Amino acid sequence: MDAQGEAYLEMLVAERGAAQSTLAAYRADLEDLEAHLARGKTPLAKASPAQLTAYMAGLAAQGLSERTQARRRSCLRQFYLFLLREGYRPDNPAQAIESPKLRAPLPRYLSEGEVEALLAAARATPGLPGLKAVAGLEILYATGLRVTELLTLPAAALSTAADCLLIKGKGGKERIVPLSETAKHAAASLRAACAPQKPAPKFLFPGRAPGTAMTRQGFALLLKQVALTAGLDPLRLSPHVLRHSFASHLLAHGADLRSLQKLLGHADIATTQIYTHILAERLQKLVQTHHPLADG
């Protein structure tokens, strides 16, 4: 990676608080373009609009998904905009790259019965893994937290009589999410089981090493093991599927999109609108149930 590329990645960390996963994805994208341009002996910072257009066309020819192409385009536009603003070049050659048309994927979610089956299987799981599974499922399904937000909860989280929890989400933005009594009880059981550990755990979901949080991979594996016990396909389950289930079930029971946007921590309601299919299904059932000609 050349100096301008490294400077851009450093800016993402310093000014935008980019996560390590985001940095790794952007680095990979820029390194892929850098390798492509190197065939014509063009430095990364000197790419022309024609070269970038040809590069993006090549991605489509390779069969990369529309979503991957869109992420690459976004990365390139932001990178060259950074170079423009920092005075490395007089233009943004990626500005004219056309964005691939994305088909909005429907979110995968579980039925309410499947969530109940998961909770029952978690409660039947012995020892600390079972307590972590129960607490994780209860909190995720009650709040719609992202898995990183869940696993970085401090050890004292959910330990008060408060009915809400203050969460710091993406970009350092704070939001308030309501808590259920079952979620608080599950957190208390997990905290009590971890209390004898020395040193005292820093996180509600402690990892194997002292002072660390449980990893995303470790938690996802735990959920898949619980899914097998519940008789569910483990490939259908992930922490994000539980977040989708939280949102989908709320809408199915009458919640509105604007409230859901606040609970999920979406900056733009357009992101929340992926759940509108739930509203459509609810309206369709309403018509089928109450319209006088529905049976005709």
Asked if residues 177 and 156 have their Cβ atoms less than 8 Å apart, the reply is no
Catalytic residue among 46, 71, 170, 202: 170
Asked if residues 135 and 190 have their Cβ atoms less than 8 Å apart, the reply is yes
CA dist 222 and 220 (Å) reads 5
**Other CB atoms within 10 Å distance of the CB of residue 195:** 10
Tell me whether residue 154 is in a domain: yes
* DSSP code, position 268: S
CA dist 71 and 183 (Å) reads 36
Does residue 55 have an active-site annotation? no
CA dist 203 and 186 (Å) reads 15
Angle at 85 between CA 82 and CA 86, to 5 degrees: 85
User: Same domain, yes or no, for 81 and 143?
Assistant: no
Catalytic residue among 27, 185, 240, 277: 240
What pLDDT is recorded for position 90? Answer: 93
Q: Which of 66, 85, 104 is the last residue of a domain?
A: 85
Catalytic residue among 36, 184, 243, 244: 243
What pLDDT is recorded for position 130? Answer: 97
The domain tally of the chain equals 2
What pLDDT is recorded for position 193? Answer: 95
Catalytic residue among 72, 132, 146, 249: 146
Does residue 277 have an active-site annotation? no
Say which residues have a Cβ less than 8 Å from residue 252's Cβ, sequence separation at least 6.
Answer: 278, 281, 282
User: Same domain, yes or no, for 75 and 155?
Assistant: no
What pLDDT is recorded for position 108? Answer: 84
Does residue 146 have an active-site annotation? yes
User: Same domain, yes or no, for 123 and 174?
Assistant: yes
Prior bond to 206 cis, omega within 30?
A: no
Catalytic residue among 8, 26, 55, 275: 275
Tell me whether residue 194 is in a domain: yes
User: Same domain, yes or no, for 78 and 121?
Assistant: no
What pLDDT is recorded for position 212? Answer: 94
What pLDDT is recorded for position 169? Answer: 81
Does residue 291 have an active-site annotation? no
Tell me whether residue 293 is in a domain: no
DSSP codes of every residue in 39-68 = TTT--GGG--HHHHHHHHHHHHHTT--HHH
Structure-derived torsion over alpha carbons of residues 30, 33, 34, 38, reported in degrees to the nearest 10:
180
Asked if residues 267 and 173 have their Cβ atoms less than 8 Å apart, the reply is yes
User: Same domain, yes or no, for 79 and 128?
Assistant: no
Does residue 240 have an active-site annotation? yes
CA dist 258 and 4 (Å) reads 40
Query: What CATH number should be reported for the domain holding residue 242?
Result: 1.10.443.10
Tell me whether residue 102 is in a domain: no
**Minimal CA–CA distance to 136: which of 39, 30, 215?**
215
Q: Which residues pair with 213 in a beta bridge?
A: 206
User: Same domain, yes or no, for 128 and 274?
Assistant: yes
User: Same domain, yes or no, for 17 and 145?
Assistant: no
| pTM for this model (two decimals) | 0.62
Angle at 255 between CA 252 and CA 258, to 5 degrees: 130
Tell me whether residue 165 is in a domain: yes
Does residue 85 have an active-site annotation? no
Tell me whether residue 292 is in a domain: no
Tell me whether residue 277 is in a domain: yes
What pLDDT is recorded for position 121? Answer: 97
CA dist 71 and 87 (Å) reads 24
Tell me whether residue 94 is in a domain: no
User: Same domain, yes or no, for 47 and 133?
Assistant: no
**Other CB atoms within 10 Å distance of the CB of residue 275:** 22
Could you tell me the residue range of the domain that residue 49 belongs to?
Answer: 3-85
Within its chain, how far is the Cα of 166 from the centroid?
18
Per-residue pLDDT of the chain (296 residues; tens, 9 = 90+): 788 989 999 999 888 888 888 889 999 999 999 999 999 899 999 999 999 999 998 988 888 887 788 888 889 999 999 999 999 999 999 887 876 665 556 678 899 999 999 999 999 999 999 999 999 999 999 999 999 999 999 999 998 888 898 998 877 888 999 989 999 999 999 999 999 988 999 999 999 888 999 999 999 999 999 999 999 999 889 999 999 999 989 888 888 888 989 999 888 887 888 787 666 666 677 677 766 766 64
User: Same domain, yes or no, for 263 and 130?
Assistant: yes
User: Same domain, yes or no, for 57 and 157?
Assistant: no
